[in-house]
Structure 1
Amino acid sequence: MSDGRDADLSGGLEDVPVLCKALTPPTFQYSTDNVQGPGCSVDPGEVTLPGCPCLSSSCRADSCSCLQTYGQAYESTGRLLNRDGPAPGYSSPVFECNALCSCGDACSNRVVQRGLQLRLEVCRTTSKGWGVRALEGIPRGTFVCEYAGEVISFGEARRRQLNQRADENNYIIAVREHAGTSSITETFVDPAQVGNVGRFLNHSCSPNLCMLPVRIHSAIPRLALFAGRDIDAQEELTFDYSGGCGTQRPAEALSAGGLQRKPCHCGAVNCTRLLPLDLSILS
């Protein structure tokens, strides 16, 4: 595959090949999971969360300590988000059963950890550079892929963003979760050099994916992307870089924090014309 056609960008790391028909596939280190980056004091792959003692093949809400503590995130089939619980756009974190749990791999509370199960293709777009499209229909609530990369500190995220050239893409995602009345947990993920198929997803002001923090083995969340609506085959997959799920955002200044804002080419009716920029990283 010297010309890169139909190449599997994951190099066999994913259960389902990530196709790319480009003549020159992008260069980066593929990783299915988050990795420990500069300033991160905890290895994201380390198992630190307690497990449940369930001996059944699939956990039940009335007896599983994981589900009783954190809630039932998925339907009983273990394929879709629970419409009675965290629907797309829901901001609370999700906890899955982990390596210390006694339940089987078929447990319905194990979804994101199973990895990529859908046929996706990385492709060139007309005005947005690289992008990702679905090669099959995806029902609402289905887990699509992670946004995996280096987990870095706030200081490293700030340093990287300030050192970026005007022609470089900013891949850093900052996730802030409220834990109690005054505590805020921050996670910074950068897939620029080490990442997965999620690094190629474009922004849209009216996206078809929603991002949810999902904890499995570690207290460090994995940034999971679920279908916010039914998605057709050949449709481009997008999410809102600002963390929303298609809600209208106010218009933003062309320049901010001394940086020139980049235009948004999503084409949505509610497009704000500029890509989101997290100025808190620069403060």
Structure 2
Amino acid sequence: MAAGLCRRGRGLGMAELSGGSEAVAVELWPPGEAPPAFQYSPESVAGADGELDPTEVTFPGCPCRRSSCQAPECPCLSRGHSYSSPRLRLAEQQQQPFSRPVFECNSLCCCGEGCQNRLVQRGLRLRLQVFRTPRKGWGVRALEPVPAGSFVCEYAGEVLGFAEAQRRIQAQSPQQPNYIIAVREHLHDGRVMETFVDPSRVGNVGRFLNHSCEPNLFMVPVRVDSMVPKLALFAAVDISAGEELSYDYSGRFHNSPGASREHKPVEEENSLRKPCYCGSRTCASFLPWDSSLFSTPASSP
């Protein structure tokens, strides 16, 4: 359920972004300032186009009656990659965090709420702060240490079909921030599954995460009740309290300095791309740009 913009934190005198809809307060800094109004929602919602409903339950539940499911008995765990613990084993994953999809146990499952295969669905559990940055507008930082592999937050917003995502992004002026993210998953049969999430009108704390060419978070599509994934962000490294959180808007993860990146976009695209201020040694100068959302209807997928 969506909540209002902000309220005062629980007895702390600090402005709180989620309106009490998160289990943990999301602080705002500095006092007296706030981002432009939007509707806060801890989870993604169906977009105005009504094409996809992320709350629809279409997956069957597992019959496991133990407190925590285990492979290979649990059909949810058998569908794809699973959590071996609340922290992911990044040491085994190198530069591709997941080679298989992630399916959590869902609302129809017989296992308990404490099942280790229920993680992202529990929502925000870390103390985060949305703060004003010197050059990048608003950003997000951790108010406590975050161990590598920990779930940080979801990137929640309106789930749109391609046509509506394209319409919205083409209607933006160059001065407006672009919140729409396009996630493309390559399926085993060669098909590509696209998910478009726009938190500009309805969203959560994830909408304030900035891009970095050397990020400390990575994104994983996690499915719970249906094929519409939750876009979950995990810590790629140990993160200190007070450190800004970031991910690569292009979906890449821990690229080496020599990795192929679109450092020099064609001249006609320069006017559509925004400069990157991440300050990393491998900075690509521009924020990632999805040309498919600017294509004409005849050439769009």
For the criterion TM > 0.5, the same-fold answer is yes
Q: Percent identity?
A: 54
CA contact (8 A) 2:222 2:232 kept: yes
Q: Which residue of 1 aligns with 2:129?
A: 121
In the alignment, the residues of structure 2 paired with residue 28 and residue 255 of structure 1 have an alpha-carbon distance, to the nearest angstrom, of: 34
Q: Which residue of 1 aligns with 2:44?
A: 34
How far did 1:280 drift?
Answer: 1.1
Amino acid at match of 1:75: S
How far did 1:261 drift?
Answer: 1.5
Q: Does 1:64 find its partner at 2:74?
A: yes
How far did 1:223 drift?
Answer: 0.2
RMSD: 2.1
In the alignment, the residues of structure 2 paired with residue 122 and residue 228 of structure 1 have an alpha-carbon distance, to the nearest angstrom, of: 20
CA contact (8 A) 2:180 2:199 kept: yes
Q: How does 1:259-274 map to 2 (within 5 A)?
A: 259-274=271-286
Q: How does 1:3-18 map to 2 (within 5 A)?
A: 6-18=14-26
Q: Does 1:277 find its partner at 2:289?
A: yes
How far did 1:165 drift?
Answer: 1.0
How far did 1:83 drift?
Answer: 4.5
| 3-state DSSP of counterpart to 1:113 | helix
Q: How does 1:151-162 map to 2 (within 5 A)?
A: 151-162=159-170
CA deviations 1:123-179 (Å, max 9, x no partner) are 011111100000011111100000000001111111111111111100000011112
CA deviations 1:216-263 (Å, max 9, x no partner) are 012100100000111111000000000011314231327545843211
Unpaired stretches in structure 2, ≥5 consecutive residues:
1-5, 296-301
Q: Which residue of 2 aligns with 1:75?
A: 84
CA deviations 1:171-191 (Å, max 9, x no partner) are 000011112333111110000
CA contact (8 A) 2:276 2:285 kept: yes
Match of 1:137 among 131, 145, 149: 145
Q: Does 1:252 find its partner at 2:260?
A: no
TM-score of the aligned structures, taking structure 2 as reference length = 0.87
Q: Which residue of 1 aligns with 2:298?
A: none
Q: How does 1:43-192 map to 2 (within 5 A)?
A: 43-71=53-81, 73-76=82-85, 79-83=86-90, 89-90=97-98, 92-192=100-200
CA contact (8 A) 1:10 1:18 kept: yes
- After TM superposition, the structure 1 stretch with the greater mean CA deviation from structure 2, 249-258 or 170-179, is 249-258
CA contact (8 A) 2:76 2:104 kept: yes
How far did 1:269 drift?
Answer: 0.2
In the alignment, the residues of structure 2 paired with residue 183 and residue 272 of structure 1 have an alpha-carbon distance, to the nearest angstrom, of: 29
In the alignment, the residues of structure 2 paired with residue 113 and residue 254 of structure 1 have an alpha-carbon distance, to the nearest angstrom, of: 41
Amino acid at match of 1:172: I
In the alignment, the residues of structure 2 paired with residue 84 and residue 270 of structure 1 have an alpha-carbon distance, to the nearest angstrom, of: 23
CA contact (8 A) 1:39 1:155 kept: no
- After TM superposition, the structure 1 stretch with the greater mean CA deviation from structure 2, 222-231 or 62-71, is 62-71
